Amino acid sequence: MVKTILGQVKEFKKDSLITPVCMILEVIMEMLIPLLMAAIIDNGVEQGDMNYIYKTGAVMMLLAVFGLAAGMMGAKYGASASTGLARNLRTAMFDNIQSFSFANIDKFSTAGLVTRLTTDITNVQNSYQMILRMCVRAPISMVTAMVMAFLINAKLASIYLIAVIALGFCLFLIMRKAMKYFKEIFPKYDDLNASVQENVSAIRVVKAYVREDYENEKFTKASGNIYQMFTKAEKILTWNAPLMQIAVYGCILAISWLGAKMIVSNALTTGQLMSLMTYCMNILMSLMMLSMIFVMVTMSAASAERIAEVINEKSTLSNPEHPIQEVPDGRITFEHVDFSYSKSLSETRNGDGGELVLKDISLEIHAGETIGIIGGTGSAKSSLVNLISRLYDVTAGKVSVGGVDVKAYDMEELRNQVSVVLQKNVLFSGTILENLRWGDKNATKEECIRVCKMACAHEFIEQFPDKYDTYIEQGGSNVSGGQKQRLCIARALLKKPKILILDDSTSAVDTATDSRIRKAFATEIPDTTKLIIAQRVSSVQGADRIIVMDNGRVADFGTHEELLERSEIYRDVYESQTGGGGDFDQPGGDR
């Protein structure tokens, strides 16, 4: 974890080294001032030598100025190093998240990743700055003050040593108790962010069902959990102040009492007693500072672990050593494919992982074919097509595109040639043209218009006042479900793929528009292999062949007419839909 975090310091190593040097210089200046102050009292005030007072005072002022300058430089470079580390950590996390496979993404919640990119990194940033400045300053200040005190008078200085040991033991117990709560706090932020994210993204549903009070209660509960944990931790930390005050005032009383006796017996000078008093405050305040540093480091340790988890997470998918850079055509072959969302086939078969989602799938699809995929909810239609663009890897068997195992391709090239319109249609903030150019960033406006005509999106875009420059709100909230689907289809077509996969991507489109889209595909992109997942038989019955999925297996594969003759599942659904609007989740009564 430490190696991972410090590995992101990178170009801020210089600032990270200068900061502690500046803090050491500041401590040296501070430690010399009490000695000069003692000299002024003993050799200037008591002797009545104003010339000595002026000279020594000038030196003290010079030391104070140098100490202030060193402190300011330490603050400047410390801030630069800590904010630079935070920037690099955010960049490293975000870059690694972009490389995640779907399997990696499944391990982390969206709210959890947001918390790690914000709250956790802020904790590490604050902790790093404190380590560079206070963690260097406090122990050096304490040790130096202790040495100085022993040089002045070992008997009186031993009072500090006893106080430091006793106070250090008490602070250790306090921190150990508080650490437990701080480690539990930050995962609670995930729940809080999840509550906010879910509420804001689904605000229309919340208002439609008048569930504002329920959402308020859920947020209050998540916020209350954080409040309770912080309260418990802070109640323990409140013991720091009284213990520190007892130690400080106890030392002052003991030194004043014993010091006065020594002054009377000429074993100690007044100036030396003043210096010891100053060093007393330096020693005990340094210890107090150290206790707060340990608390901060403890808080940030949990955050650092969570950050390191994301940075160190390796994608479950990777390119081969010499990847193939060109997909020859859109042929697709499944050879005895099993797939599970668990780690391995052995885990699945031994009952240690999840169940097999796809079981012994063998298919051969020719380039340019239009293939319909139909089946009930949970029959693994989406899981089947996700393997083609290698969003997941097969658990067993082999998936080939263009006669080559998908694992042998460069993933970027493969995904450029296998265009997927996912079940959840997502548009990004920006104009319609900017959203379309996710398919091809160099596409001309004419090319964008051409694919929009194919996807039957051109008509409604032209009705907008700003046409193709119309601004799309976050998530596409200012366009309808059907319009969003057609824009996503157009975006996928702009990639000019060899394989086009529509994962239930016309569910919000009316039947007539759906038919026009399919006709445009047949005439405009005849050489592209098209896989169309649908719930409506009418959406796939014109396909060259249709795959009927049932419980993770291929129940049948053939043309519409062939399936009507031999597939009871397909026939029942066709009859129920054409007769009464049924679907795969509501089969015919004779089944």
The Cα–Cα gap between 456 and 444 comes to 18
The Cα–Cα gap between 561 and 558 comes to 8
Which residue has tokens 């062939």? 562
Residue intervals of the chain classified under CATH 3.40.50.300 are 332-431+491-580
**Is the pTM of the predicted complex or chain greater than 0.75?**
no
Q: In terms of CATH architecture, what is 332-431+491-580?
A: 3-Layer(aba) Sandwich (3.40)
The Cα–Cα gap between 340 and 355 comes to 6
The Cα–Cα gap between 317 and 320 comes to 10
The helix (run of H) or strand (run of E) holding residue 65 is helix 50-99
Per-residue pLDDT of the chain (591 residues; tens, 9 = 90+): 788 888 888 889 899 999 989 988 888 888 888 778 777 877 777 777 788 888 888 888 998 899 899 989 988 999 999 999 999 999 999 988 888 877 777 777 777 788 888 888 988 998 888 888 888 888 888 888 888 888 888 888 888 788 878 877 887 788 778 777 777 776 777 777 777 877 777 777 888 878 888 888 888 888 888 888 888 887 887 887 788 778 778 888 888 888 888 888 878 787 788 778 787 777 777 777 777 777 777 778 778 888 888 888 888 788 888 889 888 888 999 999 999 886 544 444 444 456 888 999 999 999 989 999 988 878 888 889 889 988 888 888 999 999 899 999 998 888 888 888 877 778 888 898 988 888 888 888 888 998 898 888 888 899 889 888 999 887 777 888 888 888 888 888 888 888 988 887 777 777 788 788 888 888 888 888 989 888 878 888 888 899 998 888 888 899 888 888 888 888 888 888 776 444 555 544 333
Closest of 124, 117, 123 to residue 91, by C-alpha: 117
Can you read off the two tokens belonging to residue 170? Answer: 């008490």
Residue intervals of the chain classified under CATH 1.20.1560.10 are 13-312
C-alpha neighbours within 13 Å on the C-beta side of residue 84: 17
The helix (run of H) or strand (run of E) holding residue 387 is none
Q: In terms of CATH architecture, what is 13-312?
A: Up-down Bundle (1.20)
Which residue has tokens 């030396």? 272
